[in-house]
Chain A
């Protein structure tokens, strides 16, 4: 890792310049501010936007992405990346639907066990062989998709969720907001404590900031990395299972390319792909932001859903350019 989190101040004094402060503020709260602005625009511009049903729909639909993005945030802060989450999301959904014939417990346990195992193995390979996370999780992406396809007769079979209790977890709602959103909130709270208030969380930041220095200081680098990828796999599997419960079936085509949306949410939320900096609040704001953009574009007649991709891509580009221009962060040693 050639990048340092603690950015050397350009002036001799330790007081940050106003530009730096603006950069840091944007990095930390930019997604939240834009989210607020978009909510105002949506309220003023579209009658159907602020209805409880629509807002609840956005929250529920975004929660799956948010759950995966929580795991991805840990991975990215540790200086890695996890490309396998989209495939694990689909695999988790198929496994949950497949397991639901044996009851809700199996429907939840099966995807968690298999996707957790994928994450664990990826973590072991990355930590022990020091191969690039990009490549290892790319093979995870292929492997998990292959396993999913071989389970479903090359994608032709769709298992239906046969357990009422399990389906209820995905379909039930409170105040028009689906249960998955509340599950996401619980995971977020636990993850935030883990990241901000425990030694493990500090280790994740330390490894992402400077892996060699962290190792010299006695941080258990390998163990922390393995944990991080295990968590990411578990959360992707859980999100897949919840999505299967919501849709009542293990859909085999959804979730392709989801890893990119997840990474986009994390980056928009202010977590740097160089590792060592970032947080969960921004990630959730980033995930909700992508959901709101999609919803708003669907409200405008005549705009297709592919237009949403244009906006998301442009938005991601604007975010990273602003990060760079404000100079609050250094993406690369140049």
Chain B
């Protein structure tokens, strides 16, 4: 897990044969799996291609996609952020508490709260030097508690702006989906086209070398965790606006696992040094499609979890470094 070698992109052997197949699977496996499930559903699931169903699926997957974007950045630096689910809950609490000052103020407070938690995680990791898994574990436990202390029980609301954010559509596309698409584009741009993105990947590839090369390691790490916190808070606010209720007890529960799954299945290695934004989105879509397929065919939730486990295992097995 702590191996710090930079992953080389192409396998050393020729592109043909077994190594080639594995390399192909690593890169495009998640796209192929999504396509396969899509074709299967189009053929065998009634109403799958209906616009309503499409909208539902996309709306349901948005929180995972948004959280997974931040998680992909963190994992790219060879870190992990377990606090994202609790940050969603905190965002729900803050939204409810500050709704009296209007929806924009409430959303701003929720995002500020997420940024603050992210800054705490980043400070623990980058400045104090605590392992990411321990630092964010402490925040997972503490922030979920804080969210519950701030808002002890579920609170429904009817603020028209916030309700509209969760349930309205523009040209047939739900606003939450539009927000998610905008965030995907922004994060993809950040990773591919900015110095910050380059630095992030370099630090994940080899932290010591990056520091020696003069990269601002601490600042980049700190920013990455803040970004993850902000994205989780946005996801929490959107989920809250869709539910039309703040539910700090159960909102975002196990979100960290879903997000990590989406990132890993999408081909971003846990060893850092590489971020696959589109792959991450596909990973989230794959899990959503899988769940929808099993439910539509009357298979129980428990099957989904076992299937999910098998897919993660297969994806990581395919992606593991060979010696």
Listed in ascending order, the chain A residues whose CB lies under 8 Å from chain B are 1-3, 81, 125, 129-136, 138-143, 145-150, 154, 256, 260-261, 263-264, 267, 273-274, 304, 306-314, 316-317, 320-321, 324-325, 331-334
Contact = CB atoms under 8 A, between A and B. Distances in A.
A284 to B, nearest CB: 19
B208 A146 contact: no
A253 B81 CA distance: 25
B139 to A, nearest CB: 6
Given A150-B303, A321-B124, A138 B312 contact: yes
Interface residues of B, number: 52
B141 A149 contact: no
B124 A313 contact: no
Nearest to B316: A135
Given A324-B129, A324-B130, A331-B129, A317 B257 contact: no
Contact of A313 (B128, B141, B305): B141
Contacts of A141: 257
A142 B308 contact: yes
- Most A-side CB within 10 Å, residue of B137, B261, B264: B137
A125 B313 CA distance: 10
Question: For the complex, would chain B's binding face be called helix, strand, loop or mixed by DSSP majority?
Answer: helix
Contact of A147 (B128, B141, B260, B306): B306
A133 B2 CA distance: 12
Interface string B131-151: 101110111111111111100
A312 B207 contact: no
Given A129-B320, A147-B302, A138 B140 contact: no
Nearest to A333: B208
Interface of B: 1-4, 80, 82, 124, 128-131, 133-135, 137-149, 152, 207-208, 253, 257, 260-261, 264, 270, 300-306, 308-310, 312-313, 316-317, 320, 323
B66 to A, nearest CB: 21
A334 B257 contact: no
A81 B36 CA distance: 34
A3 B317 CA distance: 25
30 contacts: A129-B317, A130-B323, A132-B270, A135-B313, A141-B257, A143-B309, A149-B305, A150-B303, A154-B301, A263-B137, A264-B137, A264-B141, A274-B131, A304-B148, A304-B152, A306-B152, A307-B145, A307-B149, A309-B144, A310-B149, A312-B142, A313-B142, A320-B131, A320-B135, A321-B128, A324-B130, A331-B131, A332-B131, A333-B208, A334-B129
A143 B323 CA distance: 28
A321 B138 CA distance: 11
Contact of A273 (B131, B270, B308): B131
Considering the complex of A and B, which 3 residue pairs feature the smallest CB-CB distances, nearest first? A313-B142, A309-B145, A306-B148
Nearest to B314: A139
